[in-house]
Amino acid sequence: MDPALPTQHSHATDDVHHARKRRRRRAASALPTLMTLGNLVCGFAAIYYASKPPETTSFFGWYSLTVAGALVFLGMLFDALDGSVARLTRSTSDLGAQLDSLADVVTFGVAPAFMMLRLVSDYYGSEWGMASAHQGASILGPADSSYAKVLWAIAAFYLCSAALRLARFNVESKSAKSDDHMYFKGLPSPGAGGTIGALVLLHQHVLFTRPDVEANLSFARAAALGIPFVALVVSIGMISSLPYVHFANQVLRARRTFTSLAKIVLPVTFLVWWPQEVLAIGFVAYALSGPVLWLWRRRLGLRPTQTSP
């Protein structure tokens, strides 16, 4: 028997093993990209459903704006997972970071701005106060009326703020390590988009699940007018330098104590029972947390919080 045969067989086995390992590594490295693209598709689908007139859809009988809001949050889930998966599979890259920002511009920039236009157009036509609720499929244009010009200016300002926020993050970000992302400088675009999406979801939930509110259209009209004001506020928050806590990184890095677990379990429990209300309260509170944290630290005379862009 040739003594070289076992050695040759061993080398061949090692080559097959390494080839399989490389294939698994390539497959794992593709997961973050697929999740980022899933975020992008969710944003595109949200825009599609927001463009439809207010009517029920094939998705659980939800109304079109409800589906659009849910897709924004599904995109947010993909956005939260892609970075974690990239770090776990050691497949972070500049290409992935740029692709993530492009997807975020669509899902948390274009989609919420378009949802705002759709919602307000349901109650106000080309002339101020002359449209009945759910008038039709048309959306206010930038030259329809003085109010439409203001509305479009707010939507454009929101979109530009989201794009500037993401561009600043890409340029000034230190690294992909979670240690460098414990605080944000300026309201992150998912927080801004989530605030608008959550308020739109709450509006639709209250409107279509409570007949007494639906009969009193003055509430729905007034609530719809509040969304552009919120969009203006969160737009300023995105381009500001206010500190915002990075909840995902801080929760993941927190010690597993009873208190830390309670901070996770209790909100999730409330979210299961009252999803629209909890999302709206949570995201509005987060949007306001930046100014509150800044004022609190300034009052105590503390140094500015170390933030990432």
pLDDT band at residue 131 under the 50/70/90 scheme: very low
Angle between helices 94-105 and 146-172 (to 10 degrees): 170
Instruction: Let me know if 191 is exposed, middle or buried by CB neighbors in 10 A (0-12, 13-18, 19+).
Output: buried
State the average pLDDT over residues 120-141.
Answer: 62
Identify the sign of the CA torsion 95, 97, 102, 107. positive
Give the DSSP letter string of 72-116. HHHHHHHHHHHHHHHHHTT---HHHHHHHHHHHHIIIIIHHHHHH
- Sign of the torsion angle spanned by Cα atoms 243, 248, 249, 252: positive
Q: Is residue 24 part of a domain?
A: no
pLDDT band at 129 (very low <50, low <70, confident <90, very high): very low
Q: What are the structure tokens assigned to 41, written together?
A: 């598709």
Over the chain, what is the mean pLDDT?
Answer: 81
Burial class (CB in 10 A: 0-12, 13-18, 19+), 174: exposed
Q: What is the DSSP letter of 51?
A: T
Sign of the C-alpha dihedral computed for residues 210, 215, 218 and 221 taken in this order: positive
pLDDT in tens, 43-80: 999 999 999 888 888 888 889 999 999 999 999 999 98
Burial 237-246 (b: 16+ CB within 10 A, else e): bbbbebbbbb
Helix 64-88 vs helix 4-50: angle between axes, to the nearest 10 degrees?
150
Structure confidence by residue, pLDDT tens digits, 265-287: 788 888 889 999 999 999 999 99
Query: Which residue range forms the structural domain that includes residue 101?
Result: 31-299
Please report whether residue 67 resides in a domain.
Answer: yes
Whether the per-residue pLDDT at 121 is higher than 70: the answer is yes
Q: Does residue 212 belong to any structural domain of this protein?
A: yes
Q: 206-261, pLDDT tens digit by residue?
A: 888 876 765 667 778 888 889 999 999 999 999 998 989 887 666 655 566 666 67
The confidence score (pLDDT) of residue 85 equals 79
Q: Does 307 score more than 70 pLDDT?
A: no
Residue 20 in any domain: the answer is no
Burial of 24: CB neighbours in 10 Å, binned 0-12, 13-18, 19+:
exposed
Taking the C-alpha atoms of residue 112 and residue 295, their distance in angstroms, rounded to an integer, is 28
- What span, in angstroms and rounded, lies between the C-alpha atoms of 278 and 266? 11
Q: Are 200 and 69 in contact (CB under 8 A)?
A: yes
Q: What is residue 26's predicted lDDT score, i.e. its pLDDT?
A: 59
State how many domains the chain has: 1
Residue 136: strand, helix, or coil: coil
Tell which wins on pLDDT, 78 or 12. Answer: 78
9 inside domain: no
